[in-house]
Structure 1
Amino acid sequence: MTAATLPKPDHRSIDIRPGRALGKLELGELWRYRELLYFLILRELKIRYRQAAIGAAWALIQPIMTVAIFSVVFGHFAKMPSGGVPYPIFAFTAVLPWMYFAEAVRRGSTGLVADSDLIRKIYFPRLLVPLAMVAAPLIDFAAGFAVLLVILAFYQVPITLYILLLPLFLLVALSLSLSVALWLGPLSVRFRDVMHALPFAIQVWMYASPIAYPMAIVPERWRLLYSLNPMVGVIEGFRWVLLRDGHPDFRAIAISCVIISACLVGGLVYFKKMERSFADVI
Structure 2
Amino acid sequence: MTQTQAISIPVSVVAALEAAEPLPRLVTTIRPRSRWEALDLGEYWRARELLFFLIWRDVKVRYKQTALGAAWAILQPLMTMIAFSLFFGRLARVSSGTLPYPLFAFTGLLPWTFFANAVSQSGLSVVGSERLITKVYFPRLIIPLAAVGAGIIDFLIACGMLGVLMLYYGVIPGLTFLLAPLPILGLVLAASGIGSLLAALNVSFRDFRYVIPFLVQLWMFATPTVYMQTEGTIPVVWRALLPLNPACGLISNFRAAVTGGALDLYSLSVSMSVAVVLFFAGVLYFRRVERGFADVI
TM-score, length basis structure 1 = 0.91
Where do 1:132-171 residues align within 5 Å? 132-171=146-185
Equivalent residues of 1:233, 1:255 under 8 A apart: yes
1:227 maps to which of 243, 246, 267: 243
Cα gap change, 1:18/1:78 in structure 2, threshold over 3 Å: closer, same or farther?
Answer: farther
Give the C-alpha shift of residue 244 in structure 1. 2.3
Separation (CA, whole Å) in 1 of partners of 2:227 and 2:278: 26
**Residue in 2 aligned with 1:64?**
78
The answer to whether 1:278 aligns with 2:293 is: yes
Write the deviation string for residues 25-52 of structure 1: whole angstroms up to 9, x where unpaired: 2122110011111110111011000011
SS of aligned partner of 1:209: coil
- Kindly provide the amino acid, as one letter, of the partner of residue 48 in structure 2: R
1:84 maps to which of 98, 104, 113: 98
Give the C-alpha shift of residue 17 in structure 1. 7.0
Write the deviation string for residues 154-208 of structure 1: whole angstroms up to 9, x where unpaired: 1100122211111111111101100101211100000111111111110110011
SS of aligned partner of 2:39: coil
- Kindly provide the amino acid, as one letter, of the partner of residue 129 in structure 1: I
Where do 1:71-220 residues align within 5 Å? 71-216=85-230, 217-220=233-236
Separation (CA, whole Å) in 1 of partners of 2:277 and 2:76: 32
Cα gap change, 1:17/1:152 in structure 2, threshold over 3 Å: closer, same or farther?
Answer: farther
Separation (CA, whole Å) in 2 of partners of 1:60 and 1:17: 48
- Kindly provide the amino acid, as one letter, of the partner of residue 245 in structure 2: N
Separation (CA, whole Å) in 2 of partners of 1:257 and 1:70: 27
**Residue in 1 aligned with 2:6?**
none
Separation (CA, whole Å) in 1 of partners of 2:30 and 2:71: 44
Equivalent residues of 2:257, 2:263 under 8 A apart: no
Structure 2 gaps, min length 5: 1-25
The answer to whether 1:22 aligns with 2:36 is: yes
Separation (CA, whole Å) in 2 of partners of 1:166 and 1:16: 45
Separation (CA, whole Å) in 2 of partners of 1:21 and 1:277: 11
Separation (CA, whole Å) in 2 of partners of 1:28 and 1:35: 13
Give the C-alpha shift of residue 23 in structure 1. 3.0
Equivalent residues of 2:225, 2:252 under 8 A apart: no
Separation (CA, whole Å) in 2 of partners of 1:142 and 1:267: 25
Equivalent residues of 1:169, 1:237 under 8 A apart: yes
TM-score, length basis structure 2 = 0.87
Larger deviation, residues 128-137 vs 263-272: 263-272
Write the deviation string for residues 197-237 of structure 1: whole angstroms up to 9, x where unpaired: 11111011001101110112311121122222111111111
The answer to whether 1:254 aligns with 2:269 is: yes
Write the deviation string for residues 260-282 of structure 1: whole angstroms up to 9, x where unpaired: 11111122211111101111111
Separation (CA, whole Å) in 1 of partners of 2:285 and 2:51: 21
Cα gap change, 1:181/1:17 in structure 2, threshold over 3 Å: closer, same or farther?
Answer: farther
**Residue in 2 aligned with 1:4?**
none
Larger deviation, residues 157-166 vs 36-45: 157-166
Alignment identity in percent? 43
Equivalent residues of 1:18, 1:276 under 8 A apart: no
Separation (CA, whole Å) in 2 of partners of 1:135 and 1:160: 28
Write the deviation string for residues 81-132 of structure 1: whole angstroms up to 9, x where unpaired: 0011100110011000000001100111110000011001100000110110
Structure 1 gaps, min length 5: 1-11
